[in-house]
Every structure is written in C-alpha cells, then in structure tokens.
Structure 1
Amino acid sequence: MSFKFSDLLRSPFAVLASKLDLDFAMCCTAFVVNLFNFFFKRRSREIDEGEANDNAATNNGIVRAASSPHTSTEGRGMITSSSYDYEVFLSFKGSDTRERFTDFLYTSLEDVGLRAFKDDEELRVGEEFAPELLKAINQSKISIPIFSKDYASSIWCLKELVCMVECWKTRGLKIMPIFYDVTPSEVRYQTQGYGEAFRSHKKKKRYDEETMGEWKAALSAVGAINGWDLQSMPNRREAKFAKKVTQEVFNELKKAYLVVSNNLVNVDHHVNEIMDMIGDRKSETRIIGIHGMGGIGKTTIAKIIYNKLSNNFENCCFLSNIREMSQLKGIECLQNQLFCGIVKCKVTDIRNIDEGIMIIKERLSNKRVLLLLDDVDEKNHIDALVGECDWFPKGSKVIITTRKKDILDVPQVDYSYEVNSMDPNRSLQLFSKHAFRRDYPLVEYINKSYKVINIAGGLPLALEVIGSLLSRTKKEMWDVILEKLENVPHAEVQSKLKISYDALDFRQKCIFLDIACLFIGYDKDVVVHFWDESKLFPEEAMEVLQNMSLIKIKEDKKIWMHDQLRDLGREIVHQESNNKIQKQSRVWNPAASLAFLRRHEGEIKVEALRLKSNCTFTYEDFMRLSNLRFLEVVDNQKVNYGAESRFLQHKMLSNVPPGNVFQENSNLLLQLQWLSWHNIPQILDITNFSGKNMVILDLSNSKITQHWNGWSHMKVMKKLKVLNLTECCCLERTPNFSAQENLQHLILQGCVNLVEIDRSIGQLKHLVSLDIRYCSNLRRLPIEPVRWKALEELLIDSTLIKEIPNCQGMKNLRIFTASNSAIITLPHSIGELTTLEYLSLDNCRCLERLPDSIVNLESLIEMDIRGTMIKKLPDSIGNLKNLKVVKMTGSLISKIPDTLWTMEKLEEIEAAVNQRLHVKIGNGIYRSQSLRILNFGYAKIYTAPKFPESLISLHLSMLYMKTFPDLSNLSNLKELYLSFDARTYDVRSYELPKDAMPWWIGKLSKLESLSLSSSYVTTLPTDISLLPQLKALDLACSNLCCLPRLPSSLLSLFLCNCRSICSTDLSNLKKLSSLTIQSSAITEIRGLNCLENLEDLHLYCVAQLNILPDISNLKKLKSLRVRLCGNLVEIQGKLPQSLEELMICSCDSLRKLPDLSSFRGKKRVDRKANLLLCQEKFVEFEGDETNKRAKIEYEYGSEGEDSESKYEYEGDETNKRAKTEYEYGSEGEDSESKYESEGEDSESKYESEGEYEE
C-alpha cells in the first residue's frame, strides 16, 4: 500500500484548516503530518521521485496537471508537448516551514490543479546537487523561494537559489519570493541571521570565495524582487496567506495558458521543428507561419508552442478565429483586442485600420510580445496586426496559423511550416483515445477501427469526430454508421472543410470538383490542357488550390488530394444535382455509370463519365451525351483479344454492327476533349467518330499495332496536345504525327517492342515532353533533337540508345534522364543546354567520361552519375553555381575536385560504397553553410575537417582516420552514421585508441537517428540520455561493455554484435516500438515488460539468453521472432492478443512453448497471421483474411535420421498439453508430422471457436 503526502493533506484535517480556527486545525494537521513523516516519509519520497522520472514529457495544463501526471505525447498520446513537469518549484528550509506554511502552500497549489515540486531537504544524500532538483527548477514555470531564518544555512537552498537566478537570466523563469520570518533587506544584504550563516560557511572552509560570492549575488538579486512579506502581515494566518499566494500564482500562469485537448497524438515532432525555427528567446524577432488544410491540427500545435513560450513573456496575446472576426466586426476590432490584451487596458476606440496600425506600432514598440494569430485569411490581416518586424523589440515572437500558404509569402514572415496528415499507426491511436478511451482498440473492433482510419485519411478532426460519435453509439450500430460514412461524409467534418471551398471563385471551384471526382493521381502537366480548352486558367487556379492546402503537387507531378476533401467535392456534386444522377455534372463511379445511362431517357447533361470496359453500351447511349467533355473507359478486367473476342461482338455492341461503336454519324460526342480508353480493341473502328475537339487521347495498355485503322482518323485531331501510348506492347512503329502539329506530350513509356519512331516527330514544333522510357528495343532517336526547340523533358531511361547526336537546338530542355540506358558518350554540345536543371545518368555502365563542356550547364541543380564508369569529375565543376545535389555512389571516381567544397549552393553529396574514392576534404567546407547531406560511407577519408553546422545528415567511414573526429558543432544534425570496423576491409592503415568514445554525442540535441559500428568503442557517454529527439539507435560495437541510460524518446533500438554487453535495462523506453538484438552476449533483458508501445521484438543468435521475460503486458506487440537462441529454455507469460506473427526457430533448449491460445484464437484480425514454430525446421500456420480457418503445414527434412521432440504448452481446456512428434523421412523423401492432442490421431484438428481445420 502506498501513500502520498498530498493525499493526507486533503483529509478532513486540511479542510478544517481552511474553515475553522487555525490553531485547532493546525494541531490536528500537525499530528497527522508528524505521524506520516515518521512512518512513510522515505516511501513517499520514492514514489514522488518515481512519478517525476515517469513524466519525461511535460505538461502545461493548469487544471489538467494534477489529474494527468503522465504526459508523454508519443507513448500515451498526450497532449501538449510542454517542457514543464512542474508549474511551481518550492525552495524552503525544511525544519523552518515544512510542517506548517510550506505544507499548506503545497496543498493549496495542488488543490487548484497546479503541479508543484516540494523538495524535502532531510531526504538529500550528501552535498551533491541532485539532478532531479536541477531538472525540476529548469522545467518549472515559477519558482518560489521561502526565505526563513535558517534558509541561508542550508547549502542546498543556496544552490537551488543560484540555479533559479540562472534560469531567470537565461530563459525568463518567474521568481516570486516569500519572506516568511525575515525581512527583504536581511536577504538582500545578508544581515543578521543570514550574515551569521555566511560566517559559519566561511569558517568551515569547504567552499571557496567564488562559490559563496555566487550565493550572495543570488540572495541580493532575489531579495530585490517584490514578493510577499509574511512577517509584516497582521495575525499571520498562514493557511489564508497560502491561499492568497496560490491565487496569484494561478493568475500568473492562467494569463497566457491556452487549453488544449488531453487526447492529442504525435505532435512532438511538429512542435520541435517549429521551436527550432523560433530560436531562443534572445534571438531576433521571429514571425512563424503554420499552414495546412482545415482540421489538420494547426491551431492545436500553435497553442502548445504558445504555452511553452508564454512563461518567457510578460506580454502575451491570443487572437482566435481572425477570418471570422474580421468578417463580422472588422479588422479594427482585432487591432483593439491586440492592443488592450498587451497593455491591460480597457477598450480603446480604434476608428480605422490606419489608426490601429499607428497605435500598435508606437505604443507597443517597447514591449517584447508573444502573439498567436489564429486562422489568418488575408495578407492585410498580417499588415494590420504585426506589420513589419521592427514594430516590436528584439526577441518578440509571432505565430500565425492559416489555410492559405500564399499569405505567408511576405517579407515579414521568417519561416513557414506545413502540417501534414497523420500516419495510420498514429491515426489508430488518436481514434482509439476518442472511441475507446485508450491508446489502442479492443481486439474485436480492430477491423472496424481500420475502416475508420481509411475513411478519415489521417485527418485529426475526422478521427476525433468519428471516434466520439462511435463512443456514444451502441456497438451493434457501428457497421451501419461506418457504411454510411463510407458513402456520406460526416456533416461536422465537411462543414469545417467547406470553408476553404466557399472562398474559391467559379473557375477554381470547377477545377476543385474535377480533381475530386476524376483527376486525383493524374499528371498535372497533362490535365492543365483539358482545363485550358475550357478557359478555366488552370495554372492560376491550381496555385490557389495549393496555397489553400486543398491539393498538393507531388514530386512526380501527380495531383494529390486528401480523402476527406475528395469526399467533400463529390458530396457537393451530389447536392448540386439534388442527388439525381442524371443531373450530375460528373459521374465517377464506373459501377453506377451504365445503370445511369440505361435508366434515364432523353438528353443527359453529364460532362464527365467513367465507364467499365466490360459493360454493354450502345450507340444510342452515347447519342444522349451531347455535353460530354471527358470519357474514361476503365479496364477492370483483362480482356481476351483473340480471334473470338466477345468484348466487342457480344458485350459492348449488342445493338450495332460489330466493330463500329460510333456508327456512321460524325456528330457523335462533338464536345469530347478527353478520351481515355485503356486496352482499346485492335478491331474497334472509330473512323466516323468526331475528334475535332480532342485534346487528350490516352490509349494506354492497348493491343493496337501500327496497322490499327484508328491512326488515320487521328488526322482530324488538330487540337490534340497529349497522346499517351504507355505499354502498348504490340506497337513496333509509331504512326505519322504530321497532322498533330499542336502535340506537346508524347508518351511511349514501356512500349517494349517499339523499334522505330516515325520521322514526322521532327515536325512537332510545340513538343514539350518526350517519354520513351523502358522502350527496351529502341536503339536510336529518329532525328537530331536540334529541331525540338520547345522540348523541356527528354526521358530515355532503359533504352538501347547509345548516343544523342546533337543537343544544340534544345534551348529549353530542363530534364534529361538516361538511367540504365546504353549511352556511351555525351555530345560536346550538351554544354549549350543552359536551361538544363536535372541530369540523370545513373547505372549507365558504358559511360566512362563527362565532356568538359558540362561545366557550362549554368542552371544545373542535380547531377546523378551513380553506377557509371566515370573516373573523374571536371576540375572546374565549381563553375556550376546552381548545383545543389551530386550523386556518385558506385562510380569509379577516385578524387573529388577541391572546387566542389567552395560551391555556395551545394546541399547534398552522395559518394557511398565507393572504396576507390580518396577524399581530401578541405577546410573550406566549413564555409559551405548550405550543405545539408554528406554521405561518404566506405570512402577513404584520412582527416575529418570541421564540418559546417548546416549538416542534417552525415555518413562517414573512419577506417583511415588517426583520431576520432570532433562533431560537437553539428547542432542541426539529425542523422549520423559512423563506421570504422576493420573487418569490413582487407587493410587498415591506422587504429583508434581502444577506449575511443564519441564524447560529443550528447551535444547533438537534434539527433534523430544514430548508427555506430566499431570494435574500438568501449563506452558511450552518459549524456546520450539527454538527446530529446533521438528515435533510432543502431549499435554494432563488439567491445561496448554496457549501455548507459538511453533517451526515453527512442522508437527503434538495434543491437548487433554487441558481444560484451551481458545485461541491459530498457525500462525507461516507454515509446520503443521496435527492438532487435542480434549476435549478442546478453543474458537478461530487464524492463522488457515496461515497453508498452513495443510492436516488433526480434532476437537472433542471442546464445546466452536463458529466459525471455513475461511479455503478456506488451499490448501492442505484433511480431515476435526468436531464432538461434540455443540456451533459451523458457518464454514466460501469455502471448499478447495483439500478436500477428510468431516465429520460434532453432532454439534447441526450449522445451516449453508460451501459451498459444490467444494467438490461435485471433480470428477477427483483418490481416494474415503467421506462426512459425520449429526445432531445426519450420512449421507454418496460415490464416485467411478473416482468420476463421487455418491450415497447418509441416515441412521437415532430414538426412535419414529419425528424431522425436516433445513440446508442452499451455492453452485452453482442450489444448492444455500436446505432444508433437516429428517423423523425418530419409534423404530425398517427403516427411510427415503428426500431432497428438487429447487422444486424437496424428491428423489433428485444431479448433478455435470451432473454425479451424487441418
């Protein structure tokens, strides 16, 4: 049984103290306190310390703090990512005040929800300043020193006071002193008892003058602060005074605190990255913009950051819903709210925006402020509220949230940050918090939970709303609600998202709806031609949609839209037609399209239609589609195009003569601009089809040849701009393109039998992109590219083309890729491609050199020569002033020119797996402040220079280094990979000291991933535990003797070949999701049952491990693999219900399996479950999609030996004991395995709720 001090102080005695006469109540309370101190003081201290250590992530909540002390944002889904474990730190001399005033104050603070750290001086050991005290002071918002007569006689109290003053100076810690039974002047000038205390310290000669000088300076500084003078108060009613102090402390904290949810997940990385942008409190004024789609969590993240910073500012202001407020009450109202919130005055009459600007600029120019402007919608909001950076003094911070990215593109904004959707795992955790009030779903609701995750698409708003809805709904109704949500979006979520849609103009809305219904995943450069024909000004519209976070254009130019926004667009189309499909402007569901055509007579106003290719549609169907602009025939099934092709004769054209769906009427589909027909039949006749308005023709994956009669009809397609013939595998020669004079995009990707491109391609003066990638039989271009003056993209990857004849005329070429091609040389004229930005030649195994003229590519941004036979880079490569990325991994380059290190814009150098490379890195690299990624894995580096602080990723092989490099200055480094193990190589030139240690690792505060491979490292620095963002740790250090305490932020830990580590304690790694131990001498894994977020546990060749501790508490464990652990005799506890994969292999000493009942009984998980159990060989357990049936297969083989192995395992009543006999057949024969269970024959049936069979 455990007790807490605060529990007793909330007893009836403490209540009496606030309502009855103080003396009587104090006697009662004192009695209880003394009794408690005598029996339970040390136990309470241990509990309090344990709680403090558990609170690795911090909490900012005032009301929340007392009831929710666990605040890890990753492991427990929390919440604020605050840096405060305690709001208040109490410093006092125990014998003077503990049993009276301090206890009253501590209780009073906790009663209003403030988490206070109350240090107990008598429980300290020795004179070393305890780390938990330093942490508590550093992480508190307010420190309250209680100055009593003997305060200065306590060394600990003085040390605490010095730490407070340092925090006050460095981060603005609020100090609120209480002068209990001394005057402020005694403290400030060290007179009377304080002077005597210092004379006593001096006599002891244990502390030098400098230390005592620091103590005196701290007393003088704090003594000068206005505080509470209890000695001067009449009656000295301490309980009442404690309440007064509590009220003032509460008000001080409340003034800037913004309430955030207790159920947030995965906000730490957002907060940390934005805090890096903000900088420290003494830096220049920072204006930071946070943008993203509605409901993505911008405001919540901004509030958390605001709460973290608020303690450092006297002047804080939060303006919410600026878009709405400006529309209702005008910007002047917001200006007035800002001004009055900072100066703490009554309402000021600001009559117009200009007057408000003048007042804010002049009256607030001397006030360092913290501002949060939420939901800013226009640039003039920023101009009117924060203006220029010089409006506020140095150190001010302004945070802006908005849906519109473009309004942040103003000089005032220093940095912008985009908030993206949540990944599926975090989505599941957030949904579970709202639906189940826990971090993971109940086993029987896993499938349903994943349905919700798919519906929500990682949008926090949707996850919260749907989770809360289901939590209030009877479980038997869940299927009905989920089915509805899959077809009809939730109204609350949609109303939030529709705000952005309503802000669009007519043309932008059309494009938004087109994307939502049709074009998600389509190439942006192709789709714009469709909108161009309709005069929708797509370039401008798409820029607006991107700025408002309604769409994204991915790196491959594909259009991306969030699922919830997609559903919003489709619901708008439904509502515009009053849910009548014949009135819809767009019909995107192929399954409903044919019924739609059949069911409605007369003209149909649909403009975009998607059909199934294996449906029956007729000439009459198309006659009623006079407004159709977009037609896509989706190939849902592979169609047989043989001699008896029924696709045309019996399915498509049931009412017309075979082979001519368009009859003889040239007026059919006159408005059609986009025809996409994958797998179009070779015999389909489109001769009389009107294609005069055709802009985009997509015939991908079709069986058409050069003899198809449709080519001749293409002559009428004068407007054609895009022709897509991707993977037309029967095509050997292209058609004549002379009639398509406006063609801009020709896509022949994957036409594997193509051997010739018609020479008429040279007449395409407007050709912008030519894609002939993976045309593996194409050996040459039909003409010299000199004619393609408009060409911007030339893609010839994986072709047999050996050379480009002449590049002279391609003045607009931006992208040239020839990866895995047969290119043997580049023409000298390539130097004339002054607009070229991207050059990819990776894996061109015949390419041995670059032409000298390549240094004339003044616009080149990225050059990729990985896997080539190139041996040298041009010495004048430094002339490429815009070059940012150089990739040369696997090439034959042996030396890097010195000029490379002087390039001002260079961001990334990749030269891994290149053992020929001798790298001499000049000291000039330190001045390359744009360099972010440096990968020299396995290259020969003899001396490591001082690297630039801008690096975020560094891969180094230190095989040839004489000393361990000093990387302590790399404060921005996120990834570090160091390898210097000689066994990988034949020769080692130098040896590091046997006790080499990267002492500087603890200084890399932003490090997220660390990989260290070395037999020379014997210890790791203890301050590695202070790396707050380290998520992945990979150690392969054979002489590493022990692991220090690792940072609690770790998500992945990989220990390989750590043969000197016998034991490790992982109990503090609450967030760890993956643990792998391989080829190690570990005999025990302590704290394994504490890893509540562990999903993967893999143990390979851990020969000394005897017992795998109880894993039944690992509620999220999905994969357990144990292989080649020869001395393992027991796996303790039951298997967790979450387990999806179990492998126990070649564990010769294992005679007792874990309880398999929960694993075999998992029948509702919508994933394939795998069980591999073997002694030398494998047994495989497979489940189908519903896991209601299982098949057990035994695969054994032996060289003629018979053996028998018996297993005991715990399970349900019918499977408590089983005997497994392995009968190994002779060499070459099939083997058999027989299971006997409860008297059954060798062919046993395993039942789990009656659903398993052999």
Structure 2
Amino acid sequence: MKYHCCQLFNGGYFSISIYIVNQGAFILSLRFVTMVYLSSRSAHRWTYDVFVSFRGEDIRKTFVGHLFSDFRRKGIYAFRDDDQLKRGEDISPGLYKAIEQSRFLIVIFSKDYASSTWCLRELVKILKCKEMDDEYEVRVLYYDVTPEVVRNQRGSYEEAFVKHEGYHRKEVHEWKEALTWAADNLSGWDLQALSNGPEPKFIETISNEIFHKLTSTGPIDAGDNLVGLYTRAEQMDLTRFAKPKSANIHMIGICGIGGIGKTTVAKAIYNLLHTHFEAYSFCEDVKGVEKRHGLVHLQEKLLANLMSLSDLKIRNVSQGIGMMKRSMWAKRVLIVLDDVDNLDQFEALVGSPSWFSPGSMIIFTGRDRQLLTAHGVEEIFEVDLLCDDEALELFSLYAFRNKHPKEEFIDLSNEVVRYVNGLPLALKILGSFLFGKTVEEWGSQLKKLRRYPDSQIQQVLRISYDGLDFDQRNIFLDISCFFKDEKKDYVIKVLGGCDLFPVTNIRVLIDKSLISIRDDRLQMHDLVQEMGWRIVDEESEEPGKRSRLWFTKDVRDVLNKDKGTGAVKGLAMDVSSSEVDINGKTFTRLNNLRLLNLYIGSWTRLLDNNGKIRETKLGIETKVHATSGTLDFLSSELRLFCWHGYPFHYLPSSFYPESLVVLDLSYSYIKEIWTGSKGFKRLTSMKLAHCRNLIKTPDFTETPNLEELILDGCKSLKEVHPSVGTLWSLVILNLKRCINLETPPNCTGLKSLQILNLSGCKKLDQFPQDLDTMKDLIELHADGTSIDQLPSSVSILWNLQVLSLGQREDMIKTRSLGSIFWPLSKMHHPPSAAVVPSLSGLKMLRNIDVSHCKVTDGSLGGIEGLSMLKMLNLSGNDFKSLPNLGKLSRLETLGLVGCTKLEALPELPPNIEVIEAQDCISLKELPKKSTLYESSFQSFDFTNCAKVIENQSIESLITMLLPQGRIDPYKILSVYLPGSRIPGWFTHQTMGDCITIELPQNWCYENFKGIAFCLVFTPKIHNRRKSYYNSIGYRYRNFDGTPIGMLSPIPDSVFQYESIGIKSDQMLLSYDPSKPDWKKAKNSISVSFEVYGPDCVVKKCGARLVCEEDDRVQEEGSGSRMIQWLLPSSRVEDELLVLQGG
C-alpha cells in the first residue's frame, strides 16, 4: 500500500511517500527529512495533541470542561468541536479530520455515550486510525460506568442499542464490536468510584500522563533557519536503517569540521527515526557535559531516558557500564551521542555492539574521524559544505531576515558566500555582523575579506572580532581562553572586577553570534573559540609574551623556566595534568596578571595506586610543587585568584589585591589568609574548602562586599572572626565539617544570608545568635552538631525551605534533643516563657531533617501547618505517636527509620510516595485502608516491623498495589515487611531467585494488568549482625532465553541508615504494571531477581499474572491475616490465603 500525505509548512508543500512493505515493516522516503522542523508539532503530521470523544450532554460543562482547562494550562493543544468547527460545516467530516490529525485519542465512556450515534462513529474512526497507524495513542476513560457495561453493552448501553436497531441496523454490529474491543484492549483510567479520590486528582493524572508523553517522546528542536538539510541527510541513505527486523547493530558516524552542522543533521535523523525504535535518547554536547558533570552524569541521563526512569543514581563509571550492559540489550534503541572527543566516552556510554539488541542504531557526531574509526564505527559520513544557493539563503536569513538578499546587496552577498565557502556557522556570524549596515559599510568590511585569499575559515570569523571595541575584544578573548562553559553570573562577576562592563558587552557578543547562553552557561562554538586562541597566539611567538596562557605546555614552560613577562594577563592550568615546579620568584615577572586559575580538573589523575587521593599531612598533593618555603610575589592586579592545592602556608606579604573578586584556595596548605589591612574591598567570593591547616579566618572588615564564604572541611578552624557579622552582602556561609569549630559564627548583620551550613560541626553546641536578622534565609543545615535546642527566633524565618537538624547514630549518646521543637510549639513552652509562634509559621519549608534528635511525643506541634513540606525525616527518634500528617498535601517522602518506640502511623496525605520505617519494632497500626488506597505511593518499607503483621492485617499494605498500577502504569511499586511464607494467591512459586511462569494463550491481550511478585529474603549466615539489602532488580526472559525489556530496578532507599540487622526472613511484595514489551513473550517467561548488596540472598519467590478478573481474598479464622487484592471491576470467586508467622 502507498499513502501520500501533504503538509503545509511556511507557505510551501512537501510530499511524503510512505510505503507499507509488510506488517510492521516500512520504508520512508528521505524527503521526509525536510520536514524535521522548528517545533515538535511541525515535525509530524499532528495538528492537535489530543482529541476527546465524549457525550456532550453528559459531561461537557463539568468534567470535560475542567479537563480541557487543565490541558490549556499545560500547553496541551486539544481539539474542541465547539472551538474548531465552523457553524454550518458538515460535522462528520470535520470531526473525522480532527481525529486523523490528533496524536492522543481519548474516549470517555459515560452513562449515555452509547445513545449518541456520532460518538459511536467517532469510536469506530478512532479504532480504525489506531489499526492503520500504531503511532496513535488511544486511551479510554470510564466515567460513572464500568468496563463491563461497555464491554457487554449492559444497562444504559443496552437500552441505547434497542433504539439504534430501529434506525441504524447496518451499523449496530460494528458499534458493538468497537465497544467490546475497546473495553478489552485499550488501557486508560477508571473514574467510576469518584468517592475514592477528588475529581481534580484524576484530571491531573490524565493531563500529566499526556504531557509526559508529549515532552519525552516528541522530536527535539533542530534550531531555526534550517537550510540544506535534505541534501546532507540524503547522502546517508537512511532507508537502510529504517527496517525494524534488521539483525545488525548499526554504528554510524557523522564527521566534519566545527560549525558545519553535524549536530543539526543528527537531530534531523533522530526526529525522523526515533518513533521506530523501542527506546531512544539524544545526548547533546557529550564533551561539554562530561567536562562539567562527568561521565557518570551522562550515564545516568542516558539510562534514565532509555529506561523511562527518574532520579537514577550511579555511583561510578564502572557501575554505570555494568548497568548499561544489563539494560540495553533487551530493546531496539536509537542513541545519538553528539560531539564525542575521547574513547572514554565511547567505553562508558556505548562500549561494544554486543551491549545492544539487533536493529539498534547508535549515531556519533565528532570532529575526529580517527576516533570514530578506532571505536569500530562501521560507516562514517562527512557532512559537506553548503552549495552556493544554500549558502546564500542561509546568509540572507541572518543578514536580511529574509531568504533572499535585497537588490542592492546581491553582488556583495554573493561575494561573502564565495569567501565563506559554505560553512554554516561562518555564514551565520557574518550575516549577524552585517545585519543593518549600509552598502558602504559592507564594502569596507568585504575589503578585509580580500586580505584572506584562501577564504580561511578562522580568518573569516576574525572579521566579527574586528568589529568589537576594546572591552568587547578582551571579554571575547577571556571567554574563549578561560570561561567557556562557565556560569554566566560567575563570569560577569569576575570580568566586572576588570571594569569591562560585562553585562552590556556579553549581550553584544551574543547579538553577533560569537557566543550563546545555554543552561545559564556561556557557550562558544569550537571554531569561534579557536579563532580567539589564534588571535592570542599571533601576539608573539614566545608564550611568555602573550596576553593569555591556557595550553598546558605553554603554562608549564613559562612557570618552570621563569619566562613570564608583564604581557601575561591571564593564566589557567589543570594542576592535576602536568608536573610544574614553583619557586618563590616564579610569579615575580607576571606583574600584570589579573586572572590566575590553577584548578583541579580531574581527581582521577591524583589517585595513588590504591585508588586514594594522594595527600600529605598538610593537604592534597597536586602536580604543582613548591621548591621553596615561601612565595615572594603575586600580582596585585589579580581579579581571579584560584589555586587548588596552594602549596605555601601564607600569601606573599607584598600582596595587596585591591581589585580581587574571587579567591579560591581550596585544598591548599594555607594557615592564614592575611593579617592587617590588605584592601580586599572588591572580594565577593572566598573559597577555602578543605584547607585542613587553616587555624583562623581574617578580619572580614577588609571584605565588605563578600557574598560567598566557603570553609567546608577546614578541620583546624576553631572559630570564625567575629567581623563576619558585618558582611551585610553575604549570601552563602558554609562551615560544613569544620569538626573543631567550637563557637558559632557571629550572624548579627547577615541580612542577605540565604544558606547557612553548619553540618558536621560536631563540637558546636548552639546556634548563632540573632537568627531573626536573617529574614532571607532559605537553607539552615545543622545536622551532625551538638546543638541541643532550636532557638525561638527560627520561627520567624519566613523564607526557610530546608531545615536539617539530623544526627549521626554515634552522636546520640552525647546529646539530648528531646525538646528541640518545644520553643516552636504552642503546646509545650519552657517555664515562665511567653507564647511564641509555632513551627507552622514557616510556610515555605520543603525539607526537614530531625533524625536522631530524641524527638518525643508532642514535640512536633504545628508541623501539620507546613503546607509546602515535601520531605520529612524523623528517623531514629523516641516518639510513640505522630500528629496527623494528612494536611501536608505536598509531602512525598517520610523517613521513620529506627523509630523503635513508634506504635502507629498517623493519617497520611494523598501524595505520599515513600515511607521508610525500617526497624520500627514497636509499630502496630497503619493508617486506615482508604488512606493507603488513595495515596500515590511508590515504596513502603516495613523491614523488621514484626508487630505490623502480628497486630494488623497486611491487607492494607497489598490492596493499594494494583489500583496504583492503573494510575501510573510505568511505576514499579513495592512493600517490604517481615514474613517467610509466600501466600498461595501467588500461583507460581519456587525456591531460589528465579521463577518460570507458564503463559496461557493470548495471555497479554485479555485484561492483563501486570505481574505481582513476592520474594522472601534471608540474611547470609556469615553476616547476620548488620545485614540489609541495598537495592533489588529483576529481569524478564522469554522461553527461548531472549530478554524481554530492560532490567527493572525496584526503588532504592532514600535515607542513609545502618540497620539493626535482619534477624529473620523478610518479604518484598512488588507489582510491575503491564508493559508493551511483554507482548513479545510466548509459552513461558522466566524472572530472575538480583540483590545489589553483599548481605542478603533471595530464599524463594512467587509470582502471579494479574488480570481484571482477580478479585479479593477475605479473612477467615482468628490469629490469621489474609491478603485482599482489590480491583474495582473484578468479579470472581474468593480465594482463601493465609500468611503464617511474621
């Protein structure tokens, strides 16, 4: 079959030819590539995001009206018949066309849906669209009607069809089949029992799922002014890779010089092909992301996209590689790695073709063809320069904001095109530079071009640089040599200290396309950066006579051989990359230095043979070594002074940095920063992290403009100079892990402070006075201290969002925090004290950690008023009960680990996702079943909570699993609890960590909802003292051993804790909702369970295929606890199951 589609874009039509070769196979014409466009909506045929089929008289003004309003709020473009169809238009063709042009098709089955012939015809049309093209997403929603009524046409549906028999007899059979098929095969939402939850919650669930699908699976933005895309993509013959049954793993390289459009072409290919793979991910700017965040971050991002996970955490690259190997070979994946520049990236992200399932495709872009070849990339495509016509069009779009040049500029424009020789980035930069200029100005600028007869690209880019004024040139060169990928605000701060007016001048550089801003960081294309490097290189053949030094070899030579001069204004080097010897006289000749950045770029280069950081008693051992005891000279012109691992104890006595803005001597040997008056009037940031020999801080009256003071890990520091209290501009004060700090800092005048971190200052026994003056405080960290009381002044910190007071278990005996909340509670006051505001006054609090603080009953008064609270950690405390938490509507995570006296959980809010109550050995009662049923939980952990099983039916723990799977079919749910016997309800049971499930015929298509598991864990015999499992995952395999889907990880622990030790068997009950991959399974599937942690093993396991026909198991007999599995629509016989023991 052959279909022709036409879609209007920017006033022109493009044809798409789609040939259906056989079921599931296809070939797409490469002309489709020209449709890869600016936005996700124009990148496909969809006109609307959503079409909703509903009976208007039933719910138009109520439920559907609210649903469409929520769509609008989220930017979801939904078709509405009362909006889009003009009066007098034949409604049937209009609706049919709207259905065809909508990505998501939602059918709302209400009481009178079947009475409308238009609704029934819409349903038939929707199902035909789905049958013809699997890209349609069809969902059903049951509104005050059960799936059984729709499936079997009972009740009002039966009455409607009695009427239809008289007028539409020919269509009745088709309508009935459509209703039955939809009820049997389409997933969606059941809103029948609205009493189980507010209607807005269901609307939010529906719109969130659609929004997630639209934003996570749609095409990516390929940029504006795309020219020549079809020509480039056609060279690659993409049809060879668009066959889903291919047995090969395709590794494709896209190579070319910087600025030629490799990323744009890769985005076009990705947009064209991604919907034909089971999982896909586009990793942009791999080189830059690795530099900023490391390979582990890239691994997390890639796996999260491919596995549809959030908050995935990987400890190190090796673990990430292991997870990649286990996870990627189960699905046909499309991966694009943009701008790769070293083999480490290949090995960490895509290792070997053996990692992947047949039919997968991995695309790389990069400048180094040899690098791609070395990794075994089978085909490498060179991206050609634009032809003259394409180059003229692209240039005109920037120079004239039009596809064609103005008449009087045609000859000049053609001359520019000839000189640029088809490089897209150069065309963009020159076009932006010449925009708005006169013919005379053009002619003058083009005369400069004639000085470069070979049209050398770097020299063409230089023309834009020559159009800058003095300050703009200096900022451009500083960015190209030192500040690419740095935070914009940080660069503005440093260069502002150089009196270069960076706010205005950076805007000029952006307008001239020399730099850009992405994720609030300064970006610069490689060619533009190299242009800046070349400009500096041209200053002198001798590095020591150039204005900026950044290449390691040049810096090493200048410092080792004392070849510096007054011409050097900036110097940067990774102190972990190359051996350099520094003597007292090294910087004497660098008397005009304003930027000095000696940073640790790679911790891995500083590891010894045992994998530990090389260090001495004085500090971190970098590759910059001091050959003398003191440093005699540093330029007083410095604005940025960063020297990680500074090897001297003191700064030069002659150092008077009146213009210094940023001082960073982290990991250094420094003992004292300065004494007396040194003129640090412009200093805004002082970082002295992990300076273990720093014994005291300077007089801060010298630094009135300080905004950031980082003293993290200064182990010898006993006090902070009291003048710190005069720093009215200070925003961040970090004293974390200053383990010998005995006196709290003076905070009297810190009116701008937003973050105060005292974590780990274990000798600190009181908060700073005058906390009430810090009205802008957002984060207050005092965990791991000896502070035993929270001052009442905390209660008026209206902007406080994070309050961390938790303790380590080894400090519990040394302090008493039982009354930590009484100054804030209206219920408990100190003797003769006036009433003070309660904790509920801190309306902005989002995170509270008071773990191991000996909080007792009644100490948490007022907490129910914290409406913004999302995380509450009460682990290791002494209370027996908790106040009602049901009003904390945003609370998602509750930590109760080791609360050994807690007897009952309070009422919980509906958004609770995680409860960690490991080792709550006195816990007997849980919230009522309706609370659990309505919650959006992901993981409840009651490990070692034996009394829960002894005194409470575990029904309420289990019954929420299946309904939650309906709300979020992509979330694995889990409950941990004591137990050793797998209930008989689990129809498949076995010893060990692997189970085989026999599959009935058509098992995955008849009301299948998911798979429920039950595992019994036991501690290893040799390690029963402190045994606990870290994380668990399970893997599906078909009857022939081939993997089905990817490794499914069960949610890991949120809070760090050390268990009292698993003394008996524990159970995990888990539910994995239905997934499309399972349709591949035949005859039988095997499920293997993996425990990531050395201390536990899986003793036995059970499983059950969950269908709508599963109903419930009722309790019988005293002393026994039964499992009840509830599904609102189920009707089958009760099955009696008994859990024995705990």
Q: TM-score, normalised by structure 1?
A: 0.43
Structure number with higher relative contact order (C-alpha < 8 Å, ≥ 6 residues apart): 2
- Structure with the greater alpha carbon radius of gyration: 1
